Structure 1
Amino acid sequence: MRVSTSIIHSPLTSPSESITLEGTLGIHGNEPAAHDGEVYGFFAHHYDYWTQRLGVARDAWDWCHWGENITFQCDDAAVSESDFHIGDIWQIGPDVLLQVCGSRVPCFKLAWRCGQSDKWLQALAATGKCGVYLKILHGGRIHPGHIAVLKSRRTGVAPVDCATVTRLAYDASLSTRDTFNLLAEDPDLLNMNRLIFRRKLSVLRDRSLQKMNSWKGWRSVRVTRVQAETPNVKSFYLVPDGEDGRPLAAYLPGQFLTVRLPNGLLRSWSISSYTSDEHRAAPPQYRISIKMAGAASTWMHNNCEMGTVLHIRSPSGSFCLDWSPAIPGRQVYISAGIGITPMLSMLQAHLEHQVMQRAPAVWIHVSPSVDDIPFVKELHNLLSTPNARELGLQAVLFLTRADDRAERGPGRMLHSEHMTIYNGRPTLETLKDLLGAPYYMDPLQIKPIEVEGRFSTVYLCGPVAFEHTMRQFLSAIGIQKSMIFSENFGSQQEKPPLDTAEVRLLRSKRKLVWQRRKPLLQHLHSDSPIPNGEALKLGREDGIADSTELDEMGPSILELAEQAGLTPDYGCRVGSCGSCEAALKCGKVAGGMQIGGTVRVCVARPASEVLEFDL
């Protein structure tokens, strides 16, 4: 990855030399690489401090080694970041007036410059000895030897010094939230610093909302609306049933609900919308959107109507938008068919979330025809929003069925001005064209930065064969496997170390013999109970398991129980929804182990000769 920096330059030490400060233009001839600080000041005595602390020879670091434009040298008592308060005005020489506007928040560039690992940055920030940023109020020339004098301090607000700003930038405790709020809106603070504190507030809010109002077990909800999205896709709107007053649980974009139908079937479906920020803590409703396919989805299409009562578990799933990075890079959303359901929630969140809305985004969707695409009006409105236009959200549609409308742009309110349209399926070449070239991002709203296309985060949702092909193409482009996320939960299938084991189900009073066996094919939408040796269903009914193989893993504990005629609860069968969790009383398992001692038995296999479950 190519990174620009302006940290390297040579010092001017002769009184005959000078730098010229040009109002809001900054220092003549100096172009900051990635921040909006006009002038960076550092302190001479810090050179002695840091070289001694890091074991560096003092003569190895000349002035400006830290990239400063001005080195402040004190003849008597040392002045430092703690003496520079946001809003202070300093005069240097006869003409120049500078206002303190922020502090340096050290990044990997400084660690590289000082020959340290990134781990050093936390300790560095804790000292506050990182320098200050100043805004030019009145320009002019500064010569080595000019005197700096404090002219005035800001009044009317509590003083905040630059050392504190640096320390807070590396602090994530709830106790600092009030200070973050003040700094995030401080008009005199550097925009780069303000954005950091807004980001921290967003992280604190995300943490506080995680699993807020979640519940254990099942809860009844009532259907208040049924909306036909396409001839074979319907959306169902769910609200709390009864008068207990409990709000619905917060959820992450991309998560799903495990639903128990009145006929006893259990299935998991994606939540297909994102709740606006003001309602995230207590969503007024959930929406699930279901394609008619297996027995459960057919029941929903044919029997579920306004007033129908269903039972659901709290939102779950690890396939969700990751907004944890401080500065997220480009986000790529690739969906096929009904795989659009979690993507719509992610796209809505991307355009609204404080952090994500500055990240470039590409959405690629594959569909047989325009008529098969659900949420068309919603997508049109989404792509037309000011946020989408400002961000330059790139939408790409592949139509796999011959359709002359693709030549003119999709109908039903999806217009070519909002997206690029291809006939056929995505190929390696088209993905290279779409994702391989460098892209630009401006996370700090300062200066666009060029980033290689391979530095992208990708979310995939579609049939397994589609996901497999896309992963191959994305790897060929150079995108790392660790940056590709999907509904494929194969990583949770840990290979057991045994060939045989005894499994005791305590509540059922059964002793079962587990044996490793040959691979089993799994097919989507096998809704009936699974007899011994027959096909197994893997994956969610909205989603997205296709035919694949177990690599001689042997049956899961859930499958073993089903073969014995038992009917434990299950939802996703891929270790995500939690419907099948059972307490492990004795023994060890490969896969499915949860904090607290429960096991998701749909992906668990024996790792000891004897196991006991509360099943």
Structure 2
Amino acid sequence: MNVGRPKDVAWQGRTVYTGVWKHPVDGPVRARRLNLDGDGQGDTAGHGGEQRAVLVYQLDSYRYWQQHLGLRDDFGQFGENFTVDGLPDDEVCIGDRYRIGDAEFEVTQPRVTCYRVGLRLGVPEMAALLVAHHRPGFYMRVIREGHVRAGDEIVRTRQGPITVAETDALLYLPGRDLDRVRLAAAVPALSPGWQGSFRDMLAPAPAAATAWDGFRPLRVTRVIPENATVTSIHFADPPEAARPGQYLTLRLPDGAVRSYSISNDAYRITVKRESHGTASRYLTTELQPGTILDVAAPRGDFVLEDGPGPVLLISAGIGLTPVLAMLHHLASGPSPRQVWWIHAARSRAEHPLAAETSALLATLPDAREHVFYSATGGRLTAERLEALRLPATATAYVCGPDAFMKDMRTALTRSGVDRIRTELFTARPSVNPGLADRPARPPHPPTGEPGPGPQVTFARSGVSASVPAAASILDLADACDVPTRWSCRTGVCHTCETPLLSGSVAYSPDPLEPPAAGSVLICCSRPTTDVVLDM
């Protein structure tokens, strides 16, 4: 029996708040619905809770790792609550129930692949080793609360259909049998998160990620000022049609890499000149027709979905560009769908492409247009959006500043609209489980001398830097304060999977399953050439 309260632990210059440090306890411990008495988790999003109330690891696996890694038998060091004699992962099944003491438990899922077990053991790759060697351990929920003590007999009272080891392999390892995935997804006792992951695997595969690899030269045919600060740029002969709502990534003559939404049904981008933006200044004031620019293939999953239901196209400022591309697509039919165009701008003079928008809406049989100018009639607020009485069956596409999108999401939800898609121009929010908060810093080049490795460009963050010796791309991103998303840091969970716009990488360690084509796992990859990443 092992318990432990969360504590702060120093790690790579940061502080991790974690409950992975468990220690044996004497006497009976009460198992409750959410936890054992005296136990706790630092990151309750990934650990603990009703589905993960108790973590189990086996004495036989201790002996296995002692032989392979020289680990000692310090019970609780794998973060487990119950160290058990027996119950191997290749025999215990999801849905098994066990009576221990006067409590009863149900097996819900394998262990979460998390970097903190490696932190605890001093073996950074431990999360990957647990999966690769089919020894993850498992979580249980408490069916009947009661007291448990070391030495209690373990009695199975119900058996499930698929083992812990197979379930773990189906999620994390290649070569999976989809019939077995269907079986796993249908097990009622499996935790909702794992059920959702398996359902995602069974969903139809998306279309190919990109029309071409890396950058290719495209010729600028027209540069058209739309107002005092906004300019549209047209490219010749699009080699592949974009999906409405996607964006193009450009590499400019000075090496800067920037992404801009396509604003029509061809390859047109519409750029607002920012006061301190060297890239936007070049594109809006210096770029000339005939210029050749390196352009990556259209990307992005903020795209118009097919279907018969109403469509809400909601934008503010230059955020109109991706939803205008959606409007072009709807008008090309024209679509019989009910279309709502809702836009916010400071004034008529600062509302680019207004006439084009109205002309497109006029071709649709069931269109509505609502424009709000904050300088004259007041800004578009959540209350004003609710007052429009939007159809609850609609799908909403929202693009604009973060605060605007948050307000619109709130209003849409209160209006009964639950299919809401939003577009972020900046890097996606971080997923850094367990790290203590610290003041946010804008992305920046790393301190110190440049590294000896190839150059990595984080396109959304606008930062380029050379990789230090032996560092992963994730290590470099962390040093640049580029927002990152990760969990295992060893190539297992694919949380860090990121679109690769150009270049090539090598892996160390090798991931247990390769990422999708056109993507990389930044936690364990190192560039072999200069690379550009969509982050």
Report the TM-score when normalising by structure 2. Answer: 0.48
Per chain length, whose mean CA-contact separation is higher, i.e. which structure has more relative contact order (CA < 8 Å, sep 6+)? 2
TM-score, with length taken from structure 1: 0.42
